[in-house]
A and B are shown apart, each in its own frame.
Chain A
């Protein structure tokens, strides 16, 4: 769109009221445009339908299970949002989670007296280190993150298998205080979910209100333009991968605390669920848009679908198929809204000129 198309002079002269030539948007379309709202509506509808069929779905215990079940996916989805917003993707998160979870178990085997905050810090550190490897390779090779993180997906998982050598770590090997972290509740809310909430709030606030957070969107919208406007693209992308690695590390430690039983396969295939949660949550796969809140809601929605299928007595094998259909619906919807937006903008500029 050229500068002349914007019709700015006419607007300045004041002889055209601002909303002339702006086709009225339907209510549903406006609702759909705010992804968080439509996700909440979908979530509400899902819970309502499920509860009507089986009123135990809204019992305190079942809500607690739900919150516990989605916490880890929420943390991963929020980390993935940071990466996808910059037009990258990190497929290695499932492997990082598995590696860190197993390392945490090993730590308690080697030093049973380790206080859990130390284990937590070490886990986050190991995750960040994996992120440094990802970010560093991407910076050196200048190839899409998809390829590099596909490679490290295998490499980290392979290290995990090599290290574990077929062993399994059981809950008995880990201290009580640590395992309580995974199952304890505060005022009925699982600690795990509170941790996830803190992560969502922190990342959401950062993306929305910090200069470097806004720059991530600029990088994702048009990397070349971002570079020309003085944004240190390479450094930001590197930092994003480190942050995502650290969050995956955090998720790994929490995974160990929650499940107690660990082998080298922990978290296999999780990366697709994480990307799915982010995409369903309105984070565009080609960067530049989306929010941490949306991704978190996407993760909650995916988890809720899983448990409501069970309650509705629908074959649990349908779950993955539903997730796939949901991804297709979400990106299709995004595309539709973007096209209508483009038509509207064109219409407006024609009127202005």
Chain B
């Protein structure tokens, strides 16, 4: 809104033009959400290493990063989906259902674990395709559809395993999930996450597909007229989200060596929080992957540091909630103030001339 008023009436005259240019430059450096969130992240890491005991130790870094792997993975497709103006609230339930299916297959099917993993990822894709079909095929709001599948998939994951847990996975596999890169305390699982983040980043920021996502988020109809196949693209985004959910299900199961129906319950809200904190607009059409990665890290660092400082893990939900609210209220408030200042300056210039 405020941006519209800035661009709708460009100030005339060389002086004001130069000033506007300078302002834009300033905004580019400080005002972008990406820059701000990275800065806050750096400050948070510095503060935590200086003031919180045991924060800057290898062991803590390992656990911090391991805890963030599921969140980071799920945030990647969620970023793309939110940029197109949709939402997928069923991701955590996809993780739960994949996890219990993996457990049940390992328990009773006699298949090799490699094959089971492939099947689980495929099933994740199918679960995502169901979401995509309801949203794009039947034209239903993704919010309502994925609230429905959130309950459906979670329910099914309890149907698969009941309240039991499958825990007897081969030790080699569960150890591999938490293994560190030799010589460092960085978990090996971070590497595929970074690779995937790179792929998603390139797709979003450097390909026609990525630009089409922004176009859809800004205006579905205009994107259609510009030759973008909106429905097909959105459908595949939901499928990708399901596939990633399946991958996270496997990781979650092996990391905690336990397949349970309530695995990753409630994680969808944290994923959405991280994405919005990363500067993606819930209306769609705005945001980038760098900000989201920084948002995920910021969320993890803050929670980890406070936990080390003996704040109750459950009470930490205040931090998550407050961060989310601040991240949406602050930009709008700042834009509001900016617009007001700009109007006042323009009025002063008009008065002078």
> Contact residues of A with B, CB < 8 Å?
89, 137, 140-144, 146-148, 150-159, 161-162, 165-166, 264, 269, 272, 275-276, 279, 285-286, 315, 317-328, 331-332, 335
Q: Would you call B321 and A143 a contact (CB within 8 A)?
A: no
Q: Would you call A143 and B272 a contact (CB within 8 A)?
A: no
Q: Would you call A148 and B282 a contact (CB within 8 A)?
A: no
Q: Would you call A154 and B320 a contact (CB within 8 A)?
A: yes
CA distance A140 to B214 in the complex (A): 26
- Supposing A147-B276, A315-B162, A332-B140 touch, asked if A142 and B1 sit within 8 A by C-beta, the answer is yes
Q: Would you call A272 and B151 a contact (CB within 8 A)?
A: yes
In B121-142, the 8 Å CB interface with A consists of 134, 138-141
- Supposing A142-B1, A324-B153 touch, asked if A166 and B148 sit within 8 A by C-beta, the answer is no
Chain-A contact segment, one of B59-67, B327-335, B339-347: B327-335
Residues of chain A within 8 A (CB-CB) of B283 are: 144
CB distance from B341 to the nearest CB of A (A): 18
Q: Would you call B321 and A140 a contact (CB within 8 A)?
A: no
**Nearest CB in chain B to that of A339: its residue:** B139
CB distance from A151 to the nearest CB of B (A): 4
Q: Would you call A159 and B318 a contact (CB within 8 A)?
A: yes
Q: How many residues of B contact A (CB 8 A)?
A: 49
Closest 3 CB pairs of A and B: A324-B152, A321-B155, A154-B321
**Nearest CB in chain A to that of B318: its residue:** A158
Q: Would you call B312 and A328 a contact (CB within 8 A)?
A: no
Q: Would you call B138 and A335 a contact (CB within 8 A)?
A: yes
CA distance A143 to B280 in the complex (A): 12
Q: Would you call A146 and B319 a contact (CB within 8 A)?
A: no
CA distance A184 to B72 in the complex (A): 50
CB distance from B87 to the nearest CB of A (A): 8
Name B's interface SS: helix
- Supposing A147-B324, A148-B325, A332-B134 touch, asked if A158 and B317 sit within 8 A by C-beta, the answer is yes
**Given A154-B269, A317-B163, A318-B159, 9 other A-B residues pairs in contact with their CB atoms under 8 A:** A141-B328, A147-B282, A147-B324, A148-B325, A150-B273, A158-B317, A272-B151, A321-B155, A324-B149
Task: Give the contacting residue for A158; candidates B272, B314, B332; CB below 8 A.
Answer: B314
CA distance A322 to B152 in the complex (A): 7
Task: Give the contacting residue for A161; candidates B148, B317, B332; CB below 8 A.
Answer: B317
CB distance from A205 to the nearest CB of B (A): 27
Residues of chain B within 8 A (CB-CB) of A144 are: 282-283
Q: Would you call A335 and B139 a contact (CB within 8 A)?
A: yes
With most chain A CB atoms within 10 A of its CB, the pick from B143, B312, B321 is B321
Q: Would you call A320 and B321 a contact (CB within 8 A)?
A: no
Q: Is B156 interfacial (CB 8 A cutoff)? A: yes
Sampled A-B contacts (17; CB under 8 Å): A140-B329, A141-B332, A147-B276, A148-B328, A150-B269, A151-B325, A154-B269, A157-B314, A158-B316, A279-B147, A320-B151, A320-B154, A320-B158, A321-B152, A321-B158, A331-B141, A335-B138
Q: Would you call B147 and A143 a contact (CB within 8 A)?
A: no
With most chain B CB atoms within 10 A of its CB, the pick from A144, A154, A276, A328 is A154
CB distance from A134 to the nearest CB of B (A): 10
**Nearest CB in chain B to that of A92: its residue:** B321
Residues of chain B within 8 A (CB-CB) of A315 are: 159, 162
CA distance A264 to B315 in the complex (A): 10
CA distance A154 to B144 in the complex (A): 21
CA distance A21 to B274 in the complex (A): 53
Q: Would you call B149 and A328 a contact (CB within 8 A)?
A: yes
Q: Would you call B282 and A153 a contact (CB within 8 A)?
A: no
Residues of chain A within 8 A (CB-CB) of B158 are: 317, 320-321
Q: Is B257 interfacial (CB 8 A cutoff)? A: no
Q: Is B150 interfacial (CB 8 A cutoff)? A: yes
Q: Would you call A272 and B318 a contact (CB within 8 A)?
A: no
Residues of chain A within 8 A (CB-CB) of B353 are: none
Q: Would you call A328 and B134 a contact (CB within 8 A)?
A: yes
Q: Is B291 interfacial (CB 8 A cutoff)? A: no
Q: Is B261 interfacial (CB 8 A cutoff)? A: yes
Q: Would you call A325 and B152 a contact (CB within 8 A)?
A: yes
Q: Would you call B322 and A143 a contact (CB within 8 A)?
A: no
With most chain A CB atoms within 10 A of its CB, the pick from B144, B155, B158, B261 is B144
Q: Would you call B319 and A328 a contact (CB within 8 A)?
A: no
CA distance A279 to B141 in the complex (A): 12
Q: Would you call A162 and B315 a contact (CB within 8 A)?
A: yes
With most chain B CB atoms within 10 A of its CB, the pick from A264, A319, A320 is A320
Q: Would you call B324 and A154 a contact (CB within 8 A)?
A: yes
CA distance A167 to B134 in the complex (A): 44
